[in-house]
C-alpha cells in the first residue's frame, strides 16, 4: 500500500539539472503479493493513479526486469521532453518505447519481418528491444531523435505491464537516472537522482537482470546486429536468427572519437559512471591482473586517494582498498549484472576517488557487464600482458 508521511519528496537543484521547487515526487509502494497478477494489479489504486499521471503528460519511474525506467507518454512531445529535462539527456539519444501487448505494436511500426517476429516470439516479454521502422507521427520525434526507426520492447515485469495498461498508451522509458550516472536497480536509486524532477516512482522492489535490455536491428536478409548487449545474450539470439554480429561501434577504444548520432540508446556517451576516476584492468593471466591492480591501489593510496576495487569473489581478498565491491563469482555473470550498478553507486556513497575494476569474460551476459564497465570507465583500460 501507499506509504503515509514519506510519500512526497522534494530535492533542490543538483547535477546541473532543471529542478522545479513546486514539483514533488510521489512514491507508490506496490503490493508484492500481486506481482504475478498483472491484470489484477492494473486495477490497484496505486497503479491507476500512476497511470493517470502518465495519461495527463507526467513522468513516472517504474520497475522492469532490467532496471527502473522513467516513463512518459511516447506520443506526447511535452511529456517526452520532461524525460530529457529530468535526466539531462542529450537530445540525439533516442528512447525505447515499452508496450504491454502486441496490439500496440501495430500502431507504432510499419512492418515486422519474419526474423523480428521470431525474436518477439522467443524473447517477449523480456529484455530485448527491437529497432523497427516507425510509422509516421506514431511517436514524438523526440523519442526517435529524428530517425526513421524506433526501438520497442515488452518488459517482463508485472508492474511495468500493469502500468502501461493503466496509462492506456505505449511509454517511452529510458533508465530512471541522471544521464551518465549508474542506472537504478532500486527505487531508492531513482530518488537519489531524480526526486523533485519527476512526478512519481512506483516502488516494486529490486530489478532482476540488473542491466538494460539488449538492443538489436534486423537487416532485410534476416541478419541480426547487436547495437547494445544486455539481458538477452548473443548466444541466445543465435539460436533463433540465422546470423548475429556486434555493431562495430561497440569496439570503440579509449580516446577514439564517438561516431554520429546513435541508432539506439546506449551506443554513445559515457554512461553508468561513478564520480571517482575509474579504469578497467584486463589481461590473459589472472595472477598478473591481480598483481597490477594491487600495485596500482597501493600507489593510489600513497597519493592520498580514496581507493576502490570492483572485483570477483575469486580475487577480491588479494586487494587492499578503502572500498571493495564484489560482483560475485566469475562463474556467475548473471550475479555480476545484478550487482554492478548498486556497486558503482556504493563507491560514490563512500567517496571513492580512484577505482579499478577487474575485467570479466565477455561471453553470455558477461558481454553486457563488460560493455557497462567500459562505459563507466570512459573506455580507460590497463592491458596487462
3-state SS of 266-303 is: CCCCCCCCCCCEEEEEECCCHHHHHHHHHHHHHHHHHC
In this structure, the chain runs to a length of 385
97 forms beta bridges with 152, 172
CA distance 383 to 282: 5
Answer yes or no: is pLDDT of 344 > 70.
yes
pLDDT average, residue stretch 313-328: 97
pLDDT value, residue 222: 92
pLDDT average, residue stretch 25-50: 77
pLDDT value, residue 268: 55
pLDDT value, residue 35: 59
The C-alpha cell of 52 is what? Answer: 493517470
pLDDT value, residue 21: 44
Q: To the nearest whole number, what is the mean pLDDT of the chain? A: 89
CA dihedral 308, 312, 315, 319 (to 10 degrees): 10
Q: Which DSSP helix (H) or strand (E) runs through 50?
A: helix 45-55
Q: What is the pTM of this model?
A: 0.90
Q: Name the band, by pLDDT with cuts 50, 70 and 90, for residue 366.
A: very high
Q: Closest by alpha carbon to 338, among 187, 207, 202?
A: 207
- 115 in Cβ contact with 218 (< 8 Å): yes
pLDDT value, residue 249: 84
Using one digit for the tens of pLDDT, what is the confidence trace for 134-164? Answer: 999 999 999 999 999 999 999 999 999 999 9
Amino acid at each position: 500500500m501507499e506509504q503515509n508521511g514519506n510519500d512526497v519528496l522534494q530535492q533542490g537543484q543538483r547535477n546541473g539539472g532543471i529542478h522545479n521547487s513546486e514539483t514533488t515526487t510521489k512514491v507508490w509502494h506496490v503490493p508484492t503479493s500481486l506481482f504475478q497478477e498483472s491484470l489484477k494489479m492494473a486495477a490497484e489504486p496505486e497503479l491507476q493513479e500512476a497511470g493517470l499521471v502518465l495519461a495527463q503528460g507526467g513522468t513516472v519511474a517504474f520497475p522492469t526486469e532490467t532496471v527502473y525506467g522513467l516513463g512518459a507518454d511516447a506520443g506526447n512531445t511535452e511529456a517526452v521532453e520532461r524525460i530529457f529535462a529530468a535526466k539531462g539527456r542529450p537530445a540525439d539519444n533516442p528512447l525505447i518505447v515499452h508496450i504491454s501487448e502486441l496490439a500496440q505494436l501495430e500502431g507504432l511500426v510499419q512492418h515486422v519481418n519474419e526474423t523480428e517476429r521470431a525474436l518477439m516470439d522467443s524473447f517477449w516479454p523480456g529484455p530485448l528491444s527491437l529497432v523497427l521502422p516507425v510509422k509516421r507521427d506514431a511517436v514524438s520525434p523526440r523519442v526517435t531523435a529524428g530517425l526513421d526507426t524506433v526501438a520497442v520492447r515488452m518488459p517482463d515485469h508485472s508492474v511495468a505491464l500493469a502500468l502501461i495498461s493503466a496509462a492506456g498508451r505505449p511509454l517511452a522509458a529510458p533508465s530512471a537516472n541522471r544521464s551518465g550516472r549508474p542506472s537504478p536497480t532500486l527505487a531508492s536509486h531513482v530518488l537519489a537522482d531524480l526526486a523533485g524532477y519527476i512526478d512519481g516512482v512506483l516502488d516494486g522492489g529490486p530489478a532482476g537482470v540488473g542491466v538494460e535490455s539488449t538492443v538489436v536491428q534486423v537487416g532485410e536478409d534476416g541478419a541480426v546486429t547487436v547495437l547494445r548487449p544486455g539481458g538477452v545474450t548473443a548466444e541466445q539470439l543465435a539460436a533463433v536468427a540465422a546470423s548475429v554480429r556486434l555493431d562495430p561501434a561497440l569496439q570503440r577504444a579509449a580516446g577514439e572519437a564517438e561516431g554520429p548520432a546513435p541508432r539506439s540508446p546506449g551506443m554513445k556517451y559515457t554512461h553508468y559512471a561513478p564520480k571517482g576516476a575509474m579504469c578497467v584492468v584486463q589481461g590473459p593471466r589472472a595472477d598478473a591482473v591481480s598483481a597490477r591492480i594491487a600495485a596500482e591501489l597501493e600507489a593510489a593510496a600513497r597519493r592520498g586517494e580514496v581507493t576502490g576495487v570492483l572485483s570477483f569473489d575469486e580475487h577480491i581478498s588479494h586487494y587492499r582498498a578503502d572500498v571493495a565491491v564484489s560482483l560475485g563469482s566469475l562463474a556467475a555473470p548473471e550475479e555480476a549484472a545484478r550487482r554492478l550498478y548498486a556497486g558503482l553507486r556504493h563507491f560514490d556513497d563512500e567517496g571513492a576517488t580512484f577505482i579499478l575494476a577487474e575485467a570479466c569474460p565477455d561471453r553470455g551476459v558477461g558481454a553486457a557487464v563488460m560493455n557497462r564497465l567500459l562505459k563507466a570507465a570512459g573506455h580507460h583500460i590497463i592491458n596487462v600482458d
